[in-house]
Amino acid sequence: MRFAGLAALAAALVLAACSATPAASGALPGPVPTGVTFREPPDSAETAPAFELALVDGRVLDLTEQWAERPVVLVFFESWCTLCRDQQPEINEVVAEYSDIILFVGIAGMSEPADVEQYVSDNRITYPVGIDSNGRRWLQYAVSEPPLVALISKDGRLLRGWPGGISGTELREQIEQLAVDNG
């Protein structure tokens, strides 16, 4: 009987550990839904800087693998940024609509990991988030201060960046120009 109790306790602890992932461990989208294709980027669009990003939950995200399948939206922010916080609800609405076809990735700069996790939790961010503590990614995308939102096409072409952020309405319009539902 004691063994059965220990086994049940061990199973409960394993399940608890599996569900106790950090707040910033957003899910990656699955395969692009059938019938959705993406417009080709203009020839004038430059290749986006490629990089890997360590996420706060320990995973490493390779952007080139992601934009091989779908467009990517990068959201550069800081945990202390008031404008970032103000824009986040609208970005979350767009994420809820398009997370099956677009990958959204948050990139904090010099914020402490605990502050980033608190920001993610407070703002109900559901997409993957990493910290660019050495500032390389911010430099690659010419981020001088947060927020900055960057839109990258499928196949990794930098379509547009919005220093100072973007409204949910404008981001939605830009995404709708990219995705074509053939279904």
Query: How is the chain split into domains, by residue range?
Result: 22-181
Q: How far apart are CA 164 and CA 114, in angstroms?
A: 24
What is the share, in percent, of the chain residues with pLDDT greater than 90?
69
Prediction pTM value? 0.84
Q: Which residue has the tokens 């939605």?
A: 172
- Residue 111 C-alpha from the chain's centroid: 16
Q: How far apart are CA 80 and CA 85, in angstroms?
A: 8
- Distances 111 to 104, 114, 157, 162, 183 between C-alpha atoms, Å: 19, 8, 28, 21, 42
Contact between 91 and 162 (Cβ < 8 Å): no
- Supply the pLDDT for residue 178: 84
Q: What's the pLDDT tens digit per position in 99-137?
A: 999 999 999 998 999 999 999 999 999 999 999 989 999
- Give me the architecture of the 22-181 domain, per CATH: 3-Layer(aba) Sandwich (3.40)
